[in-house]
Amino acid sequence: MIECNQSITLDNALRHNDKLHFHAISSTGGFIKINNYDVPGVVTINNAEHYSTTSAVFSNTIIFDFYPPQHCLDLSPPCAEDIILVDQIYSKNSSIAIAWKKTDWQDDSSGVRDFNVEVHKVTFDPNISREGLIMGIQEVHSLNKNKSEMIFEFPEAGLYAIVLTVDDNVANFARARRFVFYDDISSIAINTTNPITVSSTVNNSGILWLGITSGQVTVSWAGHFYNSFHRDSNLLAAIEEMDPPLPAEYDETFGQPPLTRSREAIPNVEGITRFQFDYTTSRSGKTWPEWRNITGHEIYDLESCQRLDTSKASSTES
């Protein structure tokens, strides 16, 4: 067997989708001469007998693929479908359905090979990061099959990251990440050392008396409500980007509840993210019918009526 190794140097740098064509030609043939010793002492040299030459040609083409698979969000115009589909971003159910559309991905060069899904716990570790939450290295679930959906069972309450990895046939890959929040254990508690207070009132025998007829009444519940699970676990803090960072559309970079859990911090006070306030008087009733998001303040001003004969106020937190 004859081995032939040939090294070549390309004059120009290779680019995506460049093609390298090469041909290898192998030829075999030869001749034979026979010495005749039939007559003692006489050597007869016959004429050379030539064999027909046989050739074989081997051709191949190498296509260079330097780009990872691409989701249709990258196309122009982009598609409306999200990369990772989750039935519930914020869930009290112990399981969620996770899906992705294989037809939304394309790789025009080598083609998409497979889809891998990992689910990681997202936690706060001050020894690693003082800026925000980080995604754990060890996955709590992994699906390394060419499927398009799965059911994930939460091992415990907390924040989780779903990482979808799409590979092509030459080891290029693209990753996308989305977050889900599972909480079936937390509740709103009350700190009795920080009661709800109403400005300009006088407490007389357990009854709050208000001595104004116009202007503003300030109701404050600073430090009164709290969610210890969200507060102590820092589950509402910002989430750090992956290493290496993902493109903005492939990571949940911006957004607030209830539509998404993004890398942005969720504004909160002691783990409280929303409030609802209503009040009534003996003459008329007023209310804020919608939930209001926390804006960083713990004291809210409420425009009073022209005349307040008696008042009653209540608040609900989430």
Domains of the chain: 19-63 (no CATH), 70-182 (2.60.40.10), 189-233+271-317 (2.60.40)
Contact criterion met (CB below 8 Å) for 259 and 293: no
Output the pLDDT for position 315.
44
Using DSSP bridges, classify how beta strands 173-182 and 90-91 pair: parallel, antiparallel or unpaired: parallel
Kindly report the number of other CB atoms within 10 A of residue 89's CB atom: 18
Output the pLDDT for position 247.
92
Output the pLDDT for position 285.
57
Contact criterion met (CB below 8 Å) for 200 and 217: yes
pLDDT tens across the length of the chain (318 residues): 667 777 878 777 888 888 888 888 888 878 888 888 878 888 888 888 888 888 888 899 988 999 999 999 988 899 988 999 999 999 999 999 999 999 999 998 999 999 999 999 998 877 665 567 888 877 777 777 777 899 999 999 999 999 999 999 999 999 999 999 999 999 999 999 988 877 766 564 556 666 665 666 677 788 889 999 999 999 999 999 998 999 989 999 999 998 999 999 998 888 988 877 666 666 655 555 566 676 544 444 333 322 223 333 344 455
Residue 161 vs residues 86, 210, 242: alpha-carbon distances, Å: 11, 51, 11
Output the pLDDT for position 67.
93
- 60 pairs with which residues across the strands? 22
**End-to-end Cα separation, the chain, in angstroms:** 79
Output the pLDDT for position 207.
60
Kindly report the pTM of this predicted structure: 0.76
Output the pLDDT for position 304.
32
Distance between CA atoms of residues 125 and 220, nearest Å: 33
Query: Element (H or E) spanning 229, and its range?
Result: helix 228-232
- 133 pairs with which residues across the strands? 239
